[in-house]
Amino acid sequence: MSEDVVIRRAQPGDAGALVELAEAVASEPEGWLISKGAWRTVSEERRFLRALRRYSDATVFLAATSDGIVGRLSLGRDPHPASRHVADLGLMVAAGHRRRGIGRALLDEAVLWARQVGVRKLELHVFPHNEAALALYARFGFRQEGYRRGHYRRGEDLLDAILMAYDVD
């Protein structure tokens, strides 16, 4: 990475900065994320992060620089016994810090977490117009597993999504 970046688990005290990051990325006009602006409130995010301390099936990692929190990766394991080896992943990096290896570093951390907890497969949804994310995931080793038509509702629109997956060795 080309700057001084720390990757670590998110703590309840990070809630304010994480919500600010999510709202900034969600309100970018290109529509990278499912939500369009207003996300969780800070107190909801704080409660969520506090609950994760006692819950080993989900986690949130963040990337911090001297500018503050600039990246977030969330993981949640499938609760069904037949698919507990699968975890869903969400990722965002602040616009001013992209193309510096932060997304890749957060994905590396996700793979380490997966190995630790016995998750064998990481999966995610990405919008077909999101060329940056598609390039990152493909380069990292994710493969396309499906194309889901009208899978997400945003306002009046139903949006398609590409399903991608990564096998954890």
Q: DSSP secondary-structure letter at 88?
A: E
Q: Does position 6 bind ligand COA by CB under 6 A?
A: no
CA 104/CA 121 separation, integer angstroms: 17
Name which of 15 and 92 has its Cβ closer to ligand COA: 92
Nearest to 22 by CA among 83, 94, 74: 94
CA 35/CA 51 separation, integer angstroms: 22
Q: Does position 122 bind ligand COA by CB under 6 A?
A: no
Of 43-51, 52-60, 133-141, 149-157: span binding ligand COA (CB under 6 A): 133-141
φ/ψ region of 60 (left if φ > 0, alpha if ψ in -120 to 50, else beta) reads beta
Candidate list 56, 135, 147, 167; residue touching ligand COA; CB under 6 A = 135
SS3 131: helix
CB nearest ligand COA: which residue?
103
Q: Does position 32 bind ligand COA by CB under 6 A?
A: yes
Q: Does position 165 bind ligand COA by CB under 6 A?
A: no
Interface of this chain with ligand COA, residues 33 to 72, rule: CB under 6 A: none
Reading the block at residue 135, the tokens are: 């390039």
Q: Does position 152 bind ligand COA by CB under 6 A?
A: no
Candidate list 49, 102, 114, 159; residue touching ligand COA; CB under 6 A = 102
Reading the block at residue 111, the tokens are: 């793979």
Of 15-23, 35-43, 44-52, 93-101: span binding ligand COA (CB under 6 A): 93-101
CA 79/CA 83 separation, integer angstroms: 7
Please, what is the end-to-end C-alpha distance for the chain in angstroms? Answer: 24
Q: Enumerate binding residues for ligand COA (CB under 6 A).
A: 25, 32, 91-93, 98-104, 124, 126, 130-133, 135-136, 139
